[in-house]
């Protein structure tokens, strides 16, 4: 069945790039309704998009239309997905506060279809805490966001704020218009983030993981119809609407929670950066420093933490699929193979965290899949969202 897509173009310099996107979508047989703010028309003529889409381009709340009795209501009822690209700081603020004072913003308020927002703006504007709060607010309402790319910007600066590549936006649109539901009826448990081991009441040991990879997997699994449990260590990321969220602190606590839920799970994916050591004797009071900093010295005795996936692997049932990660700094394939066997995994996702674009706190990853039968599949640098989809594609094949 043919799909109808609404694209709202706001007043950013990247507006001209959307012409290519509209063209690609039309070639796929997708019907495209283009809406432009007044600012957008200063960058690109509506005639361009009318020619590419083959449909009337809507720019004014009060313009007469041959297609809809009430434009903003008719458009909102017709579309299967609403895309705002590029999305300026101003328009994101309007959406976050329910302002409906022009054609596009009234469509947003009337819309009930999924929404994909693609911000593009100056780096300082994007990083402004007000803008970030507005993005978080909309994400909490279920709006989907693509992160902007980094690079040279039209204003002459360099940093995060570029419109993502059109091909990436196109793929995300196709994914949202034609969602896979190949995990319906399955329960997936994912762990993510970093575990923390206390030294005293105010200090602890952890690592640099932000949890993004695991969160992307949980979100992708939920989008594909799974009942998802996300067991998360320390992470700056927000919980995912619709996903059962269980926050934990230490490796031991994470292990206990996952063992409790394991019997009811069909798929278990270990993406957390679990600490290998904990402090043998946690101080009950805050450790004090000496008056002279040169005399400050504390010796900590470290002992091992549970190997969570190994413990789960011992209790793995015939129907369960288990996937792990191997974040290595040397001998990538060899070390990953050892973990694959010792933890009783179906396959392992290996990555060298010393490679640019593949380490902690990165929006991208470069991974290699290693399977029990010896097969190896190496993937190019991809966004963590794309890696998450690739992992679940492999899981579905195993199922």
Q: Give the number of other Cβ atoms within 10 Å of residue 328's Cβ.
A: 17
Burial class (CB in 10 A: 0-12, 13-18, 19+), 368: middle
User: Which pLDDT score, from 0 to 100, does residue 156 have?
Assistant: 77
Question: What does the domain layout of the chain look like in residue ranges?
Answer: 4-177, 187-398
Per residue in 347-383, pLDDT (tens digit) is 999 988 778 776 677 788 899 999 999 899 999 988 8
187-398: same fold as 4-177?
A: yes
Task: Tell me the mean pLDDT in the region 285-301.
Answer: 84
pLDDT at 221 over 90: yes
Q: For the residues 327-343, what does the mean pLDDT come to?
A: 90
Angle in degrees, 0-180, between the axes of helices 71-78 and 103-110, rounded to the nearest 10: 50
SS3 content of the chain, % helix, strand, coil (to 5): 35, 25, 40
pLDDT at 51: 96
The domain 4-177 is placed in CATH, from the list 3.40.50.1950, 1.10.10.10, 2.160.10.10, 3.40.1130.10, at 3.40.50.1950
Q: Which residues contact 194 (CB under 8 A, 6 or more apart)?
A: 206, 207, 208, 209, 211, 233, 234, 235, 272, 273, 274, 275
Asked which of 124-138, 154-168, 203-217, 295-309 is least confident by mean pLDDT, the reply is 154-168
pLDDT digits (tens, 9 = 90+) for 116-164: 999 999 999 999 999 999 999 999 898 999 989 888 878 777 788 899 9
> What is the average pLDDT value for the chain, to the nearest integer?
92
Selection from 191, 181, 194 nearest residue 218 by Cα:
191
Which residue reads 């990436």 in tokens?
168
Reduce the DSSP state of residue 159 to 3 states and report it.
Answer: strand
> Domain 187-398 carries which CATH code?
3.40.50.10300
Q: What is the pLDDT of residues 58-78, one digit of tens each?
A: 998 887 777 766 778 888 999
Whether 249 shows a pLDDT value over 80: the answer reads yes
Report helix, strand or coil for 267: strand
Q: Residue 25: which pLDDT band, with cuts at 50, 70 and 90?
A: very high
Catalytic residues: 155
Backbone angles phi, psi at 133, to 5 degrees: -65, -40
């Amino acid at each position: 069945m043919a799909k109808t897509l609404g694209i709202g173009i706001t007043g950013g310099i990247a507006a001209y790039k959307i012409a290519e996107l509209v063209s690609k979508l039309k070639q796929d047989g997708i019907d495209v309704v283009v809406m432009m703010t007044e600012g957008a028309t200063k960058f690109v003529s509506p005639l361009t998009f009318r020619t590419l889409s083959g449909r009337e381009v809507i720019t004014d709340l009060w313009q007469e239309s041959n297609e809809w009795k009430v434009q903003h209501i008719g458009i909102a009822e017709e579309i299967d997905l609403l895309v705002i690209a590029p999305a300026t700081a101003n328009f994101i603020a309007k959406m976050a506060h329910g302002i409906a004072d022009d054609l596009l913003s009234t469509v947003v308020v009337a819309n009930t279809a999924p929404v994909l927002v693609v911000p593009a703006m100056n780096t300082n504007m994007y990083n402004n805490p007000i803008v970030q709060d507005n993005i978080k607010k909309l994400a909490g309402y279920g709006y989907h966001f693509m992160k902007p790319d980094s690079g040279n910007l039209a204003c002459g600066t360099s940093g995060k704020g570029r419109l993502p590549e059109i091909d990436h936006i196109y793929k995300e649109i196709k994914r949202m218009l034609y969602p896979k539901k190949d995990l319906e009826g399955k329960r997936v448990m994912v762990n993510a983030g970093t575990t923390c081991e206390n030294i005293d009441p105010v200090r602890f040991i952890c690592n640099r993981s932000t949890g993004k990879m695991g969160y992307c997997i949980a979100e992708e699994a939920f989008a594909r119809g799974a009942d998802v449990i996300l067991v998360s260590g320390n992470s700056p990321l927000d919980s995912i609407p619709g996903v059962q969220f269980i926050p934990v602190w230490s490796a031991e606590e994470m292990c206990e929670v996952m063992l409790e839920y394991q019997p009811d799970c069909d798929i278990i994916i270990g993406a957390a950066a679990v600490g290998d050591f904990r402090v043998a004797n946690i101080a009950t009071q805050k450790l004090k420093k000496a008056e002279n900093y040169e005399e400050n010295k504390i010796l900590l005795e470290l002992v091992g933490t549970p190997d969570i996936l190994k413990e789960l692997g011992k209790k793995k049932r015939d129907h369960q699929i288990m996937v792990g990660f191997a974040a290595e700094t040397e001998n990538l394939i060899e070390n990953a193979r050892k973990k694959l066997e010792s933890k009783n995994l179906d396959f392992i996702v290996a990555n060298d965290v010393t490679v640019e674009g593949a380490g902690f706190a990165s929006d991208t990853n470069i991974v290699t899949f290693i399977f029990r039968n010896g097969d190896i599949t190496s993937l190019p640098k991809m966004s963590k969202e794309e890696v998450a989809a690739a992992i679940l594609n492999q899981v579905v094949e195993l199922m």
